[in-house]
A = this chain, B = another copy of it.
């Protein structure tokens, strides 16, 4: 068989394989494999029964000139099936969400065309020349901007994630594991480079009244999405984001300008931002009273649970990606925390009996997705793989059982439990609860 990364044997050159130290149960190998340079000799690709002549045959696409250059590129036609999964409330097509196909992606950046969506009345078609942003309320002087005026302010850029606080509850809080791909189950999280104007600059310019403690942010969609945000967050690292991954925001991400609150539940990063009112207290909008509160077993609800907790998920292998047979594989996944940087990700291949530390891809950034990777020698027997992230505050991603013991199953937001995938002897991967 052609292919590589297969065998537990000496390398082709007769040297002993290096860097294949097992570090935890069921075939997990030391992360130094990803951290050193030019040091592997893991298995063998081989010509097998193929001759060198076959290997050098010209493929058909070398026999004809290729396609012309284009003003704006598209994906390969072989990749167009990679799509977000959209779901909407009954009777609507714009009140719902679409999920990033995490299992098809690698690295830290989410391509903007696959960034998750969550809308309450669809995507407005906003003329940027007609869009206005008002800052008023408890300020010395109300301010009113068009996009040209806003774009003259100093900007900053940051690579940071955004996650819907309802992410992962679909399976995490269900009595039985829900079948689905990694993206279908956990795809309400994405990571982009955001560029915009620090909100603090504008609030400082407006002049804050001493009684100011919150802001209300309002979107220009038909739902007029509104959320209250503590002034401390607004003055800390809140952005009025205008660019995403280098270009102007996509419509479904708030074009022409959105609020961006690093690490906070996604719903608060109000899209299509048209108004910021500085207030003394939260305005108790629908989205912070009837929704986005966490119902506890004793009937009380937690309110204003803003930061997204530390979390991780293995994106490969994951359901829908089949293992071709025993041998060496890369385990790849993503970790993030709304509280800061990811400090460590541990991986288990034996259902949590033993754990080993994965390699983190640099740069590890504040409130960004961090890619982790680990080499795994699968012996072909059924196995349960899982990941557990720890952030720089020391917060540890909890087990599902621990979350349910503490909060019950009637809360709907901020589920961050450890995800387990079961790899069958046939190489199929399924979602399980452990």
Question: Which candidate, A147-155, A259-267, A416-424, is the interface stretch facing chain B?
Answer: A147-155
Question: Which candidate, A83-91, A304-312, A346-354, A394-402, is the interface stretch facing chain B?
Answer: A83-91
Chain B residue at minimal CB-CB distance from A219: B62
Q: Tell me if A181 counts as interface (CB < 8 A to partner B).
A: no
Contact B13–A140 (Cβ < 8 Å): yes
Question: Which residues of A, 31-54, contact B by the 8 Å Cβ criterion?
Answer: 33-34, 37-48, 50, 52
Chain B residues whose CB sits within 8 angstroms of the CB of A141 once the complex forms: 12-13, 44, 46
Chain B residues whose CB sits within 8 angstroms of the CB of A59 once the complex forms: 126, 130-132, 220, 274
Complex Cα spacing A128 to B47, Å: 19
Q: How many of these chains are in the complex?
A: 2
Q: Tell me if A156 counts as interface (CB < 8 A to partner B).
A: yes
Q: Tell me if A275 counts as interface (CB < 8 A to partner B).
A: yes
Partner pick for A86 among B68, B250, B371, CB 8 A cutoff: B68
Q: Tell me if A408 counts as interface (CB < 8 A to partner B).
A: no
Q: Tell me if A428 counts as interface (CB < 8 A to partner B).
A: no
Chain A residue total in the interface (Cβ 8 A): 152
Partner pick for A66 among B37, B94, B250, CB 8 A cutoff: B94
Question: Which candidate, A97-105, A165-173, A382-390, is the interface stretch facing chain B?
Answer: A97-105
Chain B residues whose CB sits within 8 angstroms of the CB of A155 once the complex forms: 106, 330, 332, 373
Chain B residues whose CB sits within 8 angstroms of the CB of A92 once the complex forms: 65
Given A61-B124, A105-B243, A143-B45, A248-B76 contact (CB < 8 Å): yes
Chain B residues whose CB sits within 8 angstroms of the CB of A12 once the complex forms: 139-141, 143, 205-207
Chain B residues whose CB sits within 8 angstroms of the CB of A104 once the complex forms: 247-248
Chain B residue at minimal CB-CB distance from A66: B122
Chain B residue at minimal CB-CB distance from A206: B12
Chain B residue at minimal CB-CB distance from A248: B79
Chain B residues whose CB sits within 8 angstroms of the CB of A72 once the complex forms: 75, 80, 82-84, 113-114
The contact sample of 10 A-B pairs, CB cut-off 8 A, is: A15-B207, A45-B149, A52-B142, A62-B224, A66-B119, A66-B122, A67-B125, A79-B248, A111-B247, A114-B247
